[in-house]
């Protein structure tokens, strides 16, 4: 293997660990890689904390009464509604392929889009490099870019959200 291939493999391993991927297979001609990671056993501590919280709640008081009368516990975070409710109404532009994300056509060039930009359906919004091919990714909706969810050079997965778009 070439030094660049080894560096790419190290980045792939870190990416797989970060997203807790248990198994990964790669087959490119004479190169075959199979990675298996030992996953830590799943803990049910969060559920037992939640069960204890519900059991200690006064009758008819629900979770709100328990939250007010007990110290802050990790399980209470599970009982609260998500704080990112405004983002629930946003459209997520997702990656159609696995590869490496690039926000501009070349290093040093201006980005295809930035937060606050208005895009039209079919407009190129980024590039994903996959197997040494640069694939232009088009927006699947018209609206305003609210946030870019990935960074330049970041490895991404199929279906991973790339941009949050406010439709309109």
* pLDDT at residue number 160: 93
Evaluate if pTM is beyond 0.85.
no
* pLDDT at residue number 47: 58
Q: Which two tokens stand for residue 114?
A: 């930035």
Helix (H, G, I), strand (E, B) or coil at 162: strand
Task: Return the bridge partners of 99, or none.
Answer: 156
Task: Return the bridge partners of 94, or none.
Answer: 161
* pLDDT at residue number 1: 66
d(CA 71, CA 49): 12
Mean pLDDT for back-to-back runs of 10 residues, the chain (168 residues) = 77 78 76 72 55 60 44 47 60 93 90 92 93 91 92 92 91
Helix (H, G, I), strand (E, B) or coil at 163: strand
39 Cβ contact list (under 8 Å, min separation 6): 20, 22
CB 73 within 8 A of CB 51: no
* pLDDT at residue number 144: 93
* pLDDT at residue number 62: 44
* pLDDT at residue number 85: 52
Q: Which sequence spans correspond to the domains of the chain?
A: 3-36, 45-79, 85-167
Consecutive H or E run containing 155 = strand 155-156
CB 100 within 8 A of CB 132: no
Class of domain 85-167: mainly beta
Q: Which two tokens stand for residue 38?
A: 């030992």
Helix (H, G, I), strand (E, B) or coil at 58: coil
């Amino acid at each position: 293997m070439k030094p660049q291939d080894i560096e790419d493999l190290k980045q792939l391993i870190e990416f797989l660990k970060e997203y807790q991927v248990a198994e990964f297979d790669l087959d490119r001609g004479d190169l075959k890689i199979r990675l298996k990671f030992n996953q830590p056993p799943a803990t049910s501590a969060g559920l037992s904390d939640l069960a204890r919280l519900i059991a200690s709640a006064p009758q008819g008081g629900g979770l709100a009464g328990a939250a007010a009368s007990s110290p802050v516990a990790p399980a209470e975070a599970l009982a609260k509604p998500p704080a990112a409710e405004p983002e629930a109404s946003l459209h997520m532009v997702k990656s159609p392929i696995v590869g490496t994300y690039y926000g501009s056509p070349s290093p040093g060039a201006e980005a295809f889009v930035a937060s606050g930009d208005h895009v039209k359906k079919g407009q190129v919004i980024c590039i994903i490099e996959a197997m040494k091919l640069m694939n232009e990714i088009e927006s699947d909706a018209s609206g305003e870019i609210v946030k870019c969810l990935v960074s330049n050079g970041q490895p991404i997965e199929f279906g991973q959200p790339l941009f949050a778009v406010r439709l309109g």
